Every structure is written in C-alpha cells, then in structure tokens.
Structure 1
C-alpha cells in the first residue's frame, strides 16, 4: 500500500493541517554509439580500454532522446546531459537513483532506504515528483496509480548501462504523457558488447551488492547475455537517530539477445524481480513484497532512406502488503519512421498503450472506486527538422494524444538552432506539455471526507534558451535558461455548501524560471574537472482558499540552487581518484548542506578492478527531504567492490 499511501497523501494527508485551519518508449542505440561507449567501460574482455574520450569526442557522441533519432550531442537543441558508462563506473554508485545524482539538471532527494524523489526544474518531493518521464530501453516506467516512479522496483544492472540521457524541459511533442518537466532515457548495452563473463561483488555498512553476467554469440550474426543481481539496503535513521526499520533486499534476473537477419536488426529482452521492502512511515517496518516482470521486443530495418522501428513490451507489477494488493499489467505497441529528404529530417510515429490497473484494500477508510480500471493511451506524433541557410535549423513537431481520463491533448513544439561558424550552438524553443490524471486523482475516496472528482490534465508552456560550446580543445560547457507557466495544477477544493467532502481539482497556477549550466575542463590528459549549477525560482500563491485549502502544496519543495563539482584523476595508469562535492540549498524545513563522495579505484589487471567508495563524508547525519512522514537521515558510509571479467 506504499504507492497508494504516496498518492493518497499527496492528495489529502498533507493538506490536513490546511483543513484544520480552514475549519478551526526511442530509438535503439546505433552500432557507432556502442563502439564509442566500449572505449569507456572497462567491463568485459573486449572493452578494457579505459582511455577517456576527449571533450571534442564526447561532443560527437550520438544521442537519441532529443529527436528520437541519432544525432551528435553537440547538435542537440535541448538541455541534455549525458551520463556515460565510465561516469557510472567511476561514481561508485550502487543504485540507479544514486547514479542520477551525477546529472546537474536533476534534483535527487533520498527519502529512506529505498525511496527517492527525483525531478527536473522543480516540483520535487516524495508526494509531488510526478512530472518526469523515465524510459528504460524505450519502456515507460511511471505509475498510472500516482504518476511517480518507484525507483526500487525499476533498478537495472549498472554495468550494462551504455549511457543515460537526461533532458530537462518538456518532451511532450515526442514522448507525450508525463514528459512535462523532463525525460530520463536509460539505454542499456547491446548484447554484442557484453560477451564473456563479469562478476561484481561489493559490501559496505549501507549496501551489499552482487552482479553476475555472462554472454556469448549465437548463429552468425547474433549475441546474447543473461544476468543476475542482488542487493541489500541497510536501514536508515529517523531524524532523532533511532533505527527506521526500513531495510530492504531483492534479486533481479534478465536476458537479452540482439541479432541481424539481412538488413533487419532485432532485439528481445526481459527481466523479473522479487524485492522485500518495509513500509516505515511509523518506524515499525511492515514487510512488503514487490514483484514484477517485463519483456520487450524491437525490430529495426532501413526503409525509404531512413529507419523504421516497431517496438512492443509487456510489463507486470505487483505489490502486496498486509492491508492491500496492487496489480498492474501494461501492454504497449509503438512504431516510428525516421527518414530524410532534401533539407528535412522527419520522424513520425504512433503508439497505443493499455494498462489494466487493480487496487484492493482491506481497509474501508480509504479505497479506489472502482477498484479495477482499464486505461488506454493512444498517440500520433510528427517532427520535421529543417536545415535552413546560414547554419540555422528549424524544428517543428507535435503530438496528438488521447487518454482515458482527460481525452484529447495537443502538444506542439518549435525549436530554432543556430550553428555558428566557430562550431558552438545557440538554440531557443517554446513547447507545451501535460501530465494526464492518475487513478489517485480520479478514484481516491475517503467516505465523508474526499470523493473522486473530474480531475483533468495539468499543463505547462515552456520557453527555453540555450548555448553549448567547446571554446578550446580542453574545455566545454552548456548553459540553459527556462521560463515555465503552469496551469491546472492539482488543488483541493471544499464543497461550497457543506465544506466536506473535499474534491481534487485543477485551480492551481504557477510560474518557474531558472538557469542550468555545466562544463568540463581537462587540466591534463589524466585529470578532468567538471562542474554544474542549477537555480530555480517559483512564483505562486500559497494562500489557502476555498478553491485550494492546501495552499498549492502540489508545487513541491525544492532548493533554490544546487552546485555539483567533480574531479576525475588518473593518479597512475592503474589508480583512479574521483571526488564529488554537492551543495544543495535549503528546503522549507531542511537546512542547506554540502556533502562529499570519494572513490579510489585500482585496475589490478586488465580484468580485475578493486574500488573503495566513501559517501556522505562531511556530516554525521543528513536529511535530504522535507517530507514530514517519511524523511529519514543518512550518515557516512563506506563501500568496497571487486569486479572481475573473463
């Protein structure tokens, strides 16, 4: 019932004080991209070259998330940050949310042992981080129950990630629902790049981790891999230092195959997991079982001067607690064709998704009415990138979407980019995006207190301006500014005649603006310094009114700044030292803080690596979220890992 509690609390529980007061799925990675990635991983028998790509080479790494087709990072007219496989390896992170701390355009708040709140450009908080679309190899993982992401249920084997593309800003014209403030696209490696055997074991005072992978060839043009991971997360602490009883453990296994038949390229992959976590709002540690599985197939082939792709996946999710059972079965089918003619680069496609959602609660205090729903989401999209004279490129696109709750949505996007003679890129964009209603917002019922209403989509109109450059061979940077206008944000309204029952409505409005910037400088061929900063200002009216007694609590709780600094230094040919600092501004009830992580790695042989990572080294105990129910404290941790490939 944790996910239900999360959405229910977002809708009602966090506004109880106000009540009292008032009453007193993209394209696959190209072979060229995989070849570049192999140079940075050092994870298998074919890819032990740890030589770092130069900043100029990194600018030419292909990304697929901005235009849903391969393009050089230097040409992508969006606020995009790429986390490479080498970045992940050198981070010492043991989970996907911890890896995402590397992106300066994301806000990451750890809530407890397994839960995180992650957002881009505001609205963060465990109850409010619901405007970010996350994809794993084209599979959407946000929940139709509460529009958030349960990160403990969607982990991946970190050694198999090729790259993570993080876009801050709307992506509705290409990705539709939930791509309101950003898109995280997690792309795993082809089976061709993971042949051989890899074993990684790690232990620490906060985490234990195991990863095992084996891959090989089949036929004349195919490769496969199978993998198994296991983890244990130690319990966090309450803000007073008491044990929080929220330890967790789990296993996940999967397979992937990639092969070619003539011009056709095919991918088939699947995984299953079984986790045991603890619901710990009251520090009692109620055991919860979280299980699931997914299978995905993708077919690519050249067509009419471009590439045609068909992708389908099925996803199963189940959460069982003593007082509730949640189940969701998702079927998704999408097609797209990317092609060029004359000065035009066109991407067009369509998709259809069906979600069978079921939530059964033994408690009669709060429930979903009806308990079972079948939700559908259908979309059509087109985007045309037109090369104009004098280095100008105009991109025009739109997505038409139809969903079960709010009906039809039109999500346009216009971008203009100018490639200056020196090679730097100046771009501007205006976009519209939306977040469709979830089941909590439509079906949650507290008899006599809250009734389901006619909640509609939240919408955002965003203006963006960006500049990206490599002014010198050893220096690169990107700077982006944004101004967003939000309408129809979630509010809690009273009954005009009787006050109760309450209803979830769309009376909220807000404006946000800020700057995101990051860059890197190679001090020497063996030492790279990187830094990133993001700022956020929010303009909204928090005054409780009959239309919104919550004071627009759905706006979230965000720091007004975040600064990340990273040093990657190869002390010798075999020894690496990585230091990361982050400074985060204060929240409503949490002070600002500065924290440090340090990793020391030894490449003992071409196939054997040992590392030691210390995290949260500055403060004895630190809280990252202002959540009054779930906020937990974390202290210093040390994690050692041994990785061998053969």
Structure 2
C-alpha cells in the first residue's frame, strides 16, 4: 500500500519490510474494515509468513512450495468447515468421505486410512493423532471468522517440525485478540447443514485484549452408493477464548477451547452413536532477547472418542522454546521441545485390541536452522532436527535449501531433505489373537528433492511453480510369519517414488476482478504385487488423482456486491471417475457491518463420489447455503 503523504510533501517509498507489515495489518483487520481483495498482488507477495523458517519473512522470499489462504479467501469461499476451506490450496488433495470425515494429503498417499504424512498445527499446537497418524477432522474445527491465515507447505518439514511433517505442513494461525474486539454474529443454514458462531471481545487493561466465542453445527446425513440415507448425521458445540497482552517487552497469549460432538459410525449404515469430546489450553510467552526473539510455549490437549464398547482417550502435554537471532550474514533459529502423550484404547469384546491398552509416549527434540546470506541475492539455508521418540528411537532430519533472489525480484530455489513418519499405536500394538500381533514397526522415511520458481513479473500478475521428486523407503506392508504363515505382522518392506509439478498464480483483470488458477500433477512408481513380504500389495500408498486443476474468480460487481466462482477438475481414482465441479457465492454487504451471502456447492453434478474407500465412500450432490454475518 503506498505511503500517504502530508499536504505539500512527496510520498515516501516503502521498504519491503514496511510493505510486509502494512499488508499483514490489513489481513488482521476485520471484514468490516478492509477487503483483502483490494491489496495488490505485489502487496500480497510481501505478506509475512512464518511456517517456512519459523520466523517472519515475506512470502516472496520463502524458499518453499507455500500457498497462503487468507482470511478474505476464507470469507469469500462460502466454506463452513476447515476441510472445505483447504480445498482452496492447489497443493492439497481433499477427499470428502462422509458427512464429517475427510482425507487430506499433500503430494500423494491420500485416503481415509493412508493420509498419515501431513502435519497440521493450530496456533502451534499439533493435532496429529498418535493412534493412527492422521487427523480426525470431525473433531478439529476452528471458528473460521477468527482465522488470520492458513499457510500450506507441500514438501518435507522435518528439519523444523520433526517427524510426521513428511509430505507437508498445514499451519492454521488465528487472529490476536487485539484484532477481534466487539461482537460478531454469524448464522447460516442450507440443504445439508446449519451453523452459528458468536464472538465477543474487549480490552484487557491498558495493553491487552480478550475474546470469547461459541459455535455450533448440525449436519445432515450423506447418501450411500445405493441412494439410501447413510445415517451419518452429526451435531456439535465448541466454545473457547483467547487473551493477548503485553507487560513491558513481554508479549503473552493464553487461549483454549472445548468441544462436544455427536457423530455416527456409518460403515454399516446403522448410524451407531459416537461421542467425540475434548479440550485444550495453550500459553505462549515472547520477548526480545539477544538481538532476536525468545518464545516459550506450552499446551495441554485432551481428546476422547466413545463408541459402543470402545473408548479412546489421549492426554498430551507439550512444552517448546525457540530463539531467533542474527549474527552478521547469519539468521539463526534454534529450539527444543518435549512432548508426553498418555494414550489409552479400550476395545469392544472380541474385536482387535491394543496390547497394552495404555501407553505413555514421549517425543524429545532439538533443532537449528541457519540462513546464510552469500551475497548477490543468494541465500543458503542449512537446518536439522534431532528427535528421540518412544517407538523408533532416534531420528536425524536434515534439510538444505539454496535460494537466489534475482535483481528483478523473482526467486529461484532448490532444496533437498529427509523426513520420517514415526510409528503409531495401531502399527505397534494392534492385536487379534491368532491372526495379527503387535510388531516392531519402524519409521517410514522419505528423501525429497525440490525445485521452485516464484515471480511477480507485472503489478497485476504473480505465479509460483514447483517440481518435486520423492523417494520413500520402509513403507508399511503386511507380512507373514515364516513357516507357519500366521499371525501376520505390520512390517517396513515397501518402497515407492513419486514426482510431479505444482503451480499456481493470480491475475488482476481490473482493480475489482481477480482470477486465480492452480494445477498439480502426481505420478507414482511402486510394486503393487502381492507377495509374502507384502500381502497388501502396498495399499499404504493410497489413492491419488493424476492431476487436479483449480480455477477461481473473485469479482466485486459493485462496492457492495461480490460474486465468487470456483471450478475444480480432479482426475480419476482406481474405482472413482474423474469429475469437474463448481461452487459459486454471491455476497451482499448491506452496510460495512452487515453481510448476506448465498453459496451453491457442487453445482454441476447431482451425484459425486470423492474417495475410493470401498466401505466409507458416500455420495454428495448439489446444495445451497445462506448466511448472515453482522458485527457491532
């Protein structure tokens, strides 16, 4: 945003840092104050991101395949759940499984049982499951109106985020309480769901602010492949709060939420009732130190899923610290962390069970990363993380990145790194007497090579293109016991290679009309042959489309009327046809603080399946959703 000059004075040119700060401030403003679409693509390129190097840097300087979903993107999408918002990221593949479940992955291995190589963070809190290595999306929701941005990195993040950031990292960052003062009410209803959210915030002394919120949803059942109701309707409530304040140079954050959802098990279409409950609390302290910032963070997370005869419980305690500082040509980040997870699963009689039913798991890590300015716009980044976990012991996760910022402003970068996925409790402890026993399953590993280019050649044009080649070893397989055949064991005999291209960009046709596009391709090479070393035929590789194309139009028809259209084309799976689908949203701002919108989803087909899961696959069709949002 250009600097504003006083009368009779010339406007001063902004530095890149000032542009980044101004762009970030506009993102943090409420919807009644600033429409993010008014930012130019040049200004959007200077928005600060933190996920690539765990310190603030301009998006244009981030040497990684990173896509940012802004608060305004979320609002204009018409999406009502976090997984539906993630469809905006062209470097993710999102498969809806049923009314509440999703499979989401980056660079392959998607599927309800196999999407286990993506780390998801909410304000620095990991929501990765130690039971199955996935994310239970039905229980991991946020108030979308409070999200500042979502940073989506495709590619390994092990050097900074450790094990399980194997194919990517999703970092969900919510707004400071200082940016959410006042009251906001959002309500909506449609063919398939109804939602509400209420938030109120205010000042906290002379140097802080707070907010409290509550939200709820009711979701209708999906349809089985035969057309009958799938009995998977769901409803739930979530409430929480956040406070941010300063004490001298110290900046403090305290936040948390609790939820209670009632969902159903629908593999057999009987609609067996399930309760999913949980709560978390997080505290963060940041202050300047040694020419940089010291950050200390701790959180507690409680999760519980109760089904007839089965109860899963986990309690997670996590503490971490990191220090960033500069020394000459070096920009360094160092840190350490320790996590303890108490996990328990009580299974129904006669079913497979975990042996032992309860375990205490630990994860300890230290990491360091150095960004070295070599001159001439060239930056070399060296990073590594050392971890020790309860199942597979010690892991070393290195990464090297080389970036060249050309005089014209575009960025060329290359990277190589190693990432792992540690075993989960099912892989180590699952037992069915006489048929399956717990095994010494070890970490899966990936060696990744990346090449990327990001440019803003014109004020109204920007794009990013990334290519990758990944080599996977020690993938999960199912093997027999020598001589006697049974019981079976989960083993690490699988190997695979994947490669592909991800590209996205934006073009401002006019100051009020923006077109965006994204495309991703994926090819896989692996041996699906059923052998005694792998009776599964390497089903852990998942089901992924060969391509995905996303197109989006954001058009301000008038100062008050918005039209947003999204089109996506997704390649076929083994048992699912390729499809083309469209969503559209019409938004009308009656005043600066009152907005009405209507969203149509899945407008092109009345019957679509997104997952190849033969048991859980459900049918989705057209739907309409109307919403009202008011702030005061």
Q: Distance in 2 between matches of 1:405 and 1:178?
A: 13
> Does the CA contact (< 8 Å) of 2:28 and 2:175 recur in 1?
no
Q: 1:570 is matched with which residue?
A: 556
Deviations 1:188-222 (A, max 9, x none): 00000000000000000111010000000011101
Which residue does 1:249 correspond to in 2?
A: 235
Q: Does 1:595 align with 2:581?
A: yes
Shift of 1:76: 0.2
Cα drift, residue 362 of structure 1: 2.5
Shift, 1:239, TM fit: 1.1
Match of 1:36 in 2: 23
Q: Displacement, 1:608?
A: 0.1
Instruction: Specify which of 111, 116, 129 is matched with residue 143 of structure 1.
Output: 129
- Give the Å deviation of 1:224: 0.2
- The whole-number CA distance in structure 2 between the counterparts of 1:37 and 1:88 is 16
Q: Is the contact between residue 37 and residue 162 of structure 1 (CA under 8 Å) also seen in structure 2? A: no
User: Does 1:478 pair with 2:432?
Assistant: no
- Structure 1 stretches lacking a partner, 5+ long: 1-29
Provide the C-alpha distance between the structure 1 equivalents of 2:28 and 2:222, rounded to a whole number of angstroms: 32
How far apart are residue 233 of structure 1 and its match? 1.1
Number of the residue aligned with 2:172 = 186
> Which of residues 330, 353, 369 is equivalent to 1:344?
330
Alpha-carbon separation, structure 1, partners of 2:351 and 2:298: 39
Which residue does the alignment assign to 1:75? 61
Does 1:383 pair with 2:360? no
Q: Compared with structure 1, are the counterparts of its residues 294 and 337 closer, same or farther at alpha carbon in structure 2 (3 Å cutoff)?
A: same
**95, 98, 107: which one aligns with 1:112:** 98
Equivalent in 526, 535, 555 of residue 540 of structure 1:
526
Unpaired runs of 5+ residues, structure 2, are 1-16
Q: Is the 8 A contact 1:44 1:645 kept in 2?
A: no
Name the CA distance, whole Å, in 1 between partners of 2:18 and 2:234.
Answer: 38
What is the alpha-carbon distance in structure 2 between the residues aligned to residue 60 and residue 34 of structure 1? 8
2:605 matches 1:619: yes
Q: Distance in 1 between matches of 2:564 and 2:366?
A: 45
Distance 2:20 2:188 in 1: 29
Checking the alignment, whether the CA contact within 8 Å between 1:43 and 1:198 is kept in structure 2 is no
Q: Is the 8 A contact 1:40 1:53 kept in 2?
A: no
SS in 2 for 1:623: coil
Tell me the secondary structure at the aligned position of residue 493 of structure 1.
Answer: strand
- Aligned-residue CA RMSD in angstroms? 1.3
User: In the alignment, does 2:42 pair up with 1:56?
Assistant: yes
Partner residue, 1:26: none
1:159 alignment partner, SS class: helix
Task: Give the TM-score of the pair, scaled to structure 2.
Answer: 0.96
- The runs of 4+ residues in structure 1 deviating greater than 3 Å are 30-38, 40-45, 48-51
| Aligned-residue offset at 1:36 | 3.3
* Alpha-carbon distance, 1:177 to partner: 1.6
Describe the superposition over 1:135-158 as per-residue Cα deviations: whole angstroms up to 9, x where unpaired: 000000010000000011110000
Among 367, 370, 380, the residue aligned to 1:394: 380
Decide whether the 8 Å contact of 2:475 with 2:494 is kept in 1: yes
In the superposition, the TM-score normalised over structure 1's length comes to 0.94
Q: Is the 8 A contact 1:477 1:519 kept in 2?
A: yes
**In structure 2, what is the Cα distance between the partners aligned to 1:386 and 1:296?**
33
Structure 1 residues 83-115: Cα deviation after superposition (integer angstroms, max 9, x where no partner)? 000000000000000000000000000000000
1:633 matched to 2:628 = no
SS in 2 for 1:634: coil
Q: Give how far 1:554 is off.
A: 0.1
Change (3 A) 1:544 1:411: same
Instruction: Say if 2:558 is the partner of 1:556.
Output: no
What is the match of residue 312 of structure 2? 326
Alignment partners' CA distance in 2, 1:224 and 1:299? 16
What displacement does 1:389 show? 1.8
Q: CA deviation at 1:498?
A: 1.2
Q: Is the 8 A contact 2:20 2:43 kept in 1?
A: no
Alignment of 1:288-307 (within 5 A): 288-307=274-293
Q: Of 456, 462, 473, which aligns to 1:487?
A: 473
Q: Secondary structure at the match of 2:409?
A: coil
Q: What is the alpha-carbon distance in structure 1 between the residues aligned to residue 131 and residue 37 of structure 2?
A: 45
Query: Which position in structure 1 is the counterpart of 2:197?
Result: 211
Aligned equivalents of 1:151, 1:338: Cα separation in 2? 33
Q: Which residue of 1 is the match for residue 406 of structure 2?
A: 420
Q: How does 1:261-280 map to 2 (within 5 A)?
A: 261-280=247-266
Q: Distance in 1 between matches of 2:25 and 2:230?
A: 41
Structure 2 counterpart SS, 1:365: coil
Which whole-Å deviations, capped at 9, do the CAs of 1:315-339 have from their partners, x for residues lacking one? 0000111120000000000000011
Q: Give the 5 Å matches for 1:396-411.
A: 396-411=382-397
Contact 2:575 2:612 (8 Å CA) reproduced: yes
Corresponding position of 1:23: none
